[in-house]
Amino acid sequence: MSALSRLHDKVALVSGAASGIGLATARRLTEEGACVVLADLDAETGASRAEELGTDRAHFAELDVTDPGSWAAVVHRSLDRFGQLDGLVNCAGVGGGGSLCETSEEDWRRVMSVNLDGVFFGMRAALPALLERETSSVVNISSIAGLVGFKGSAAYAASKWGVHGLTKTAALELGEHGVRVNSVHPGSIATPLTAGLTRGIGQIPAGRVGAPEEIAHLVVHLVSDESRFTNGASIAVDGGETAGNSLRGLL
């Protein structure tokens, strides 16, 4: 690994790292020189992915993001394995379709528990370790459903707007302590989570869906020292989908 690698002195913890955006992020972080803890509820797949990335730089830890105790154990395990923590990437998430009237209380609580509570518990657990570093970074993966309304996805949109708001608040509270907190808002990305969705490509100016690696590239920048003056940002990676209405013609 070259000493000029962008993340050669960094350690990052990535939730939801067994597949999709989380896995792509873990892979890119290690490629740029970071040591990475891949955390996921899917122990078999997660451990296999860590082994593929190389056990000298990648380590798997089983994580239930809805459980504060599980988060505390994973942070402790990360410090025990690599000695420090410079970055937290909250990537674990679940989908949740259904309108306001159709969404059950059970579905509402399930989506909120993973998508929003998980981010809160993760930041709270990692913060003492992050504060030990001169500069550190939290990257919360939200969604474009956390930037605009999403018809038929009441719980999902509410959870992702919650991540957006929590990110802004944490950025204000932690910036003076050297911890920057930013949110990334993917649009239509080809992942296992979105495999069954019917996509409307017409509203995406780029004319295609994105790849998980296109999110991971941005996360690498936000974890690296290149982004030391970027705090509280909400960055859409969506091929232009939230830029405006690309389907409606001129009046």
Is residue 103 within 8 Å of 154, Cβ to Cβ? yes
Q: Which residues contact 218 (CB under 8 A, 6 or more apart)?
A: 184, 235, 237
Single-letter code of the amino acid located at 198: T
Q: Identify whether 96 is a catalytic site residue.
A: no
From 129, 156, 180, 220, active-site residue:
156
- Which amino acid does the sequence have at 95? G
Residue 195: CA atoms inside 13 Å, Cβ hemisphere, count? 5
Contact assessment for residue 171 and residue 231, using Cβ atoms and an 8 Å cutoff: yes
136/53 Cα distance (integer angstroms): 23
Give 198's DSSP letter.
P
Residues with active-site annotation: 156
